Structure 1
Amino acid sequence: MIDPVLASRLQFALTTIVHIIFPVMSMGLAPFIVYFTYKDIRTGRPRYEQLRRFWTKIFAVSFVVGTVTGLVLEFEFGTNFAAFATMAGELFGGPLATEGMMAFMLEATFLGVFLFGRERVGDAVYFLSSVAVALGTWLSAVWILIANSWMQTPRGFEVVVEDGRRVVHLTDPLAAYFTPRFTYMFVHMQNAAVLSVALFMAGVAAYYVFKHHVRGRDINSIGFWEATLKIALVVIIVTAPLQVLHGDAYARHVYETQPQKFAAMEAIWHTEAYVPEYIVAFPTSIDAVFEPGPKELVGIAIPGMASWLASGGDAGAVIQGLESFPVENPPVAVVFWAFRVMVALGMWFILLGFWGGFRWRRGELFEDDLLHKALIGSSLLGFVAVEVGWIVTEVGRQPWVIQGVLKTSDGVSASLTGMEALFTLLGFAGGYALLLALYVYVVRRIIRQGPPTGDDLRNATTETEVTGGE
């Protein structure tokens, strides 16, 4: 019989891993949609109308599927984690309810205007609809991350006993809803979403540019893909370094507020100073995969760098080891390797951006087939980075569901059996796999159809290239 705690954790992890793809796509596309709409209205150039209409289709599909999968996650708090919902409902329920009433309703209301109102409303109202849709998308992240950041660094509450049960009472809403962790999580998540979408756009565009310029195939909409590639590349050049720089500050905050998680991220078992930072790490044996540590790894390590990063400049700083904490450790191997993957991808994105920028400056952006292949291969890696980043965040917090307040094992529904949890786990796995496959099919079909051209465009058929300057 499977443990209901394990099955519930696996179910929530599975549904979250699938769900996060869709909000990342919609949140990342939001600023692009606003920009394309503004330029379409401001300049009247068909190229911007193409960009707006094409990427709006993918945005709309992502919004719909994200809504369906996101609602299920909220129900899981009641079905699988009723003890957690009962204890933290007063504080945790507020942000989730506000997200639905404020952010979702704002986005859903104006999305209809944005999708179907271009010929029915004026330019100002239409542009306002694009801003409202983007704002609603980002406000959803605000309230979800407020709830999650409180679980990571809880404050502004007290635990009291009511009817024999421990429950959380909100005492300071500002302290509870705007913890220091929230700013780090919001900036890191939103920048990651924009970067992920820029990589996706660049990869898709590079595919068509490669077929046209390198393979010599005739692509009718090649100007559209060239413009997409350049716009995406500019965003990558800006957001990739920001993600790494902010990630450094974020990790230091984790060290200060969740030292056990930080120790798991670096696989520091014993309290010590001058802790090295493994930029690239490989296990020396099978056992080292599951129990990584300095003696079990080989790679590129910078002596004292982990101590320097954690302390903000002291390579000799002492870092508390995993063996010194009074509660059980998180799955160290999962956290350690997920963190390594995230960091490696962050560095690759910087290299990729500056590689593309260098080729662009030399006038070789459309002829570098190796760059095109690298962009194509990296088109989904931004989403991978987001996934492993959330694995570090959530798995690294274990054994706590509310840090230092409630353990995950104590937050699972008391009446839930292992068979019930296994049944819903398998059902959700099948349902979410089907939804993901359907989403991939629809997005792939949109991409294969390409941008609207000719009579499909509202503007004149004479096109002015975005890439040629203004």
Structure 2
Amino acid sequence: MLDPVIASRFQFAVTTIVHIIFPVMSMGLAPFLIYFTWKDIRTEKAVYEQLRRFWTKIFAISFVVGTVTGIVLEFEFGTNFAAFSTAAGELFGGPLAIEGMMAFMLEATFLGVFVFGRDRVGNVLYMVSAVAVGVGTWLSAVWILIANSWMQTPRGYELVTEGGQTVVHLTDPVAAYLNPRFGYMYIHMQNAAVESVALFMAGIAAYYVFRHHVWGYQVEHVSFWETTLKIALVALIITAPLQVLHGDMYGRHVAETQPQKFAAMEAVWETESYVPEYLIAVPTDLGDITDPRAKELFGLGIPGGASWLASGGDPTAEIRGLNSFESEAPPVAIVFWAFRAMVGLGFWFILLAFWGGYRWWRGQLFEDDLLHKALMGSTVLGIVAVEVGWIVTEVGRQPWVIQGVMKTSEGVSPGLTGTEATVTLAGFVIVYAALLGLYSYVVVRIIRAGPPGSDELETVDVPERERETPSGEVTTDD
């Protein structure tokens, strides 16, 4: 049986890796759905109603599965990390409770109107429901990331002894909730969600456009997929460069506030200057895969790039090595290779965005088969980038569950046995794999069914409104 600390960490990792897919889809789709609803109401063009209805189905299923998998994560704090919950509950529990009472309820309340109420409410209320669902979705991320960012850069607290146990006491809610990491995490996560959905939409649309324009198959509703591809490209052109630019600032912040994590990201063991930033790294021998060290890697790198990132512009700046820290190092191989994957994907997304934009500008967007294949191959890579980004964030913080305050081994439930932790880990792997498989099956079915045809679109009763004719007479329209 596994050690309860290891098993608990694996269980939380598995549930988080699967769960994060669904919030990414719902948060990323939210601004698109608001836009589609606004265009549908304003222009009354069938394509925008098709876009709204089609993507709302995927949003709804993502919301439902995300709710189910997310609630379990909160229970795991009590079952597997009871010591952490007891010590940090005063600060950590508040944001999670507010997320459920405020953001989730706002989203859930108006989701019913948004999904089922188009022919039952007027345009104004329906538009309000779209915005409320989007705001609720993004507010959920606010409170979740407040809790997580505090674990990365804890502020506004003091350690006190209650009943013989050291606990975290909240002294300054503003400092705690608006800690230095929150802004970086929120912007990076929300932009990543929109970027991921833009890639997802572009990849699916590229498949149907490719079949129609390149292979010559008759694709039903091809104009729907052409419009989808264009809208996704616009979003990608905006979000892809922003993600890399903001990532540069985020990396500098990590170097300042979590230097040990930054050293693991760059595999720097001894304190040194002029550290290269490897964009592509290849181990010189197989042992370097599990124990990478910057000086022993061969690859494409920017001389002084890591030093430049850490300092904000000085390629000769010194980076503190892992051997200089008193606490044990994070699992360096996982952090190092995950960071390389995240950065590499980020630059690939920029290339895709401007490649597509250039082809669109040249009037060749629908004929470039190589671009279509690249977009199809990148359909889920945005979600992959989010996953490896969170691996860097969470694994890089180890051995701390609260940076500099409590180690992960100290936060595990004291009465948890290795047998209990291992059995539940196996059960969670099976259940979450099944949920992910079912979700994927349903989404594929929705995509294969395609958008509703013009004859399937609901006729919406628009209230009569007065208008004045050129002759000055007042009449009404339906």
Return the TM-score normalized by structure 2. 0.96
Q: Is the 8 A contact 2:276 2:305 kept in 1?
A: yes
Match of 1:463 in 2: none
- For the pair 1:246 / 2:250, whether they are aligned, the reply is no
- For the pair 1:361 / 2:361, whether they are aligned, the reply is yes
Match of 1:231 in 2: 231
Match of 1:306 in 2: 306
The 10-residue stretch of structure 1 (3-12 or 305-314) with the greater mean CA deviation from structure 2:
305-314
In structure 1, C-alpha distance between the alignment counterparts of 2:2 and 2:151, rounded to whole Å: 27
Match of 1:180 in 2: 180
Deviations 1:398-451 (A, max 9, x none): 000000000000000000000000010000101001100100000000000000
C-alpha displacement at 1:117, in angstroms? 0.7
Match of 1:8 in 2: 8
Letter in 1 for 2:128: L
In structure 1, C-alpha distance between the alignment counterparts of 2:139 and 2:294, rounded to whole Å: 42
Q: SS where residue 273 of structure 2 aligns?
A: coil
- For the pair 1:113 / 2:137, whether they are aligned, the reply is no
Deviations 1:95-125 (A, max 9, x none): 0000000000000000000011111111000
In structure 2, C-alpha distance between the alignment counterparts of 1:180 and 1:410, rounded to whole Å: 25
Match of 1:88 in 2: 88
In structure 2, C-alpha distance between the alignment counterparts of 1:25 and 1:387, rounded to whole Å: 13
Letter in 2 for 1:451: P
In structure 1, C-alpha distance between the alignment counterparts of 2:278 and 2:254, rounded to whole Å: 18
In structure 2, C-alpha distance between the alignment counterparts of 1:436 and 1:318, rounded to whole Å: 44
Match of 2:426 in 1: 426
C-alpha displacement at 1:459, in angstroms? 5.3
In structure 2, C-alpha distance between the alignment counterparts of 1:254 and 1:55, rounded to whole Å: 36
In structure 2, C-alpha distance between the alignment counterparts of 1:459 and 1:42, rounded to whole Å: 15
Q: Is the 8 A contact 1:46 1:459 kept in 2?
A: no
Match of 1:444 in 2: 444
Deviations 1:279-329 (A, max 9, x none): 111111111101111232111122111111111111111110000000000
- For the pair 1:18 / 2:2, whether they are aligned, the reply is no
Letter in 1 for 2:255: Y
Letter in 1 for 2:177: Y
C-alpha displacement at 1:150, in angstroms? 0.2
Deviations 1:3-22 (A, max 9, x none): 00000000000000000000
Q: Is the 8 A contact 2:307 2:317 kept in 1?
A: yes
Q: SS where residue 327 of structure 2 aligns?
A: coil
In structure 2, C-alpha distance between the alignment counterparts of 1:432 and 1:302, rounded to whole Å: 40
In structure 2, C-alpha distance between the alignment counterparts of 1:262 and 1:96, rounded to whole Å: 28
- For the pair 1:140 / 2:140, whether they are aligned, the reply is yes
Letter in 1 for 2:50: Q
Match of 1:79 in 2: 79
In structure 2, C-alpha distance between the alignment counterparts of 1:128 and 1:282, rounded to whole Å: 52
Letter in 1 for 2:357: G
The 10-residue stretch of structure 1 (197-206 or 299-308) with the greater mean CA deviation from structure 2:
299-308
Match of 2:104 in 1: 104
C-alpha displacement at 1:458, in angstroms? 2.8
C-alpha displacement at 1:455, in angstroms? 2.0
C-alpha displacement at 1:239, in angstroms? 0.4
**Equivalences for residues 130-209 of structure 1 within 5 A:** 130-209=130-209
Q: SS where residue 180 of structure 1 aligns?
A: coil
Count, aligned residues:
460
Letter in 1 for 2:279: I
Q: Is the 8 A contact 2:269 2:322 kept in 1?
A: yes
C-alpha displacement at 1:2, in angstroms? 1.3
Return the TM-score normalized by structure 1. 0.97
- For the pair 1:319 / 2:319, whether they are aligned, the reply is yes
Q: Is the 8 A contact 2:266 2:294 kept in 1?
A: no
Larger gyration radius, structure 1 or structure 2: 2
Q: Is the 8 A contact 2:95 2:146 kept in 1?
A: yes
Letter in 1 for 2:58: I
Which runs of 5 or more structure 1 residues have no equivalent in the other structure?
461-470
Aligned-pair identity (%): 75
Which runs of 5 or more structure 2 residues have no equivalent in the other structure?
461-478
Q: SS where residue 355 of structure 1 aligns?
A: helix
Match of 1:36 in 2: 36
In structure 2, C-alpha distance between the alignment counterparts of 1:398 and 1:296, rounded to whole Å: 24
Moved over 2 A (4+): none
Q: Is the 8 A contact 1:44 1:459 kept in 2?
A: no
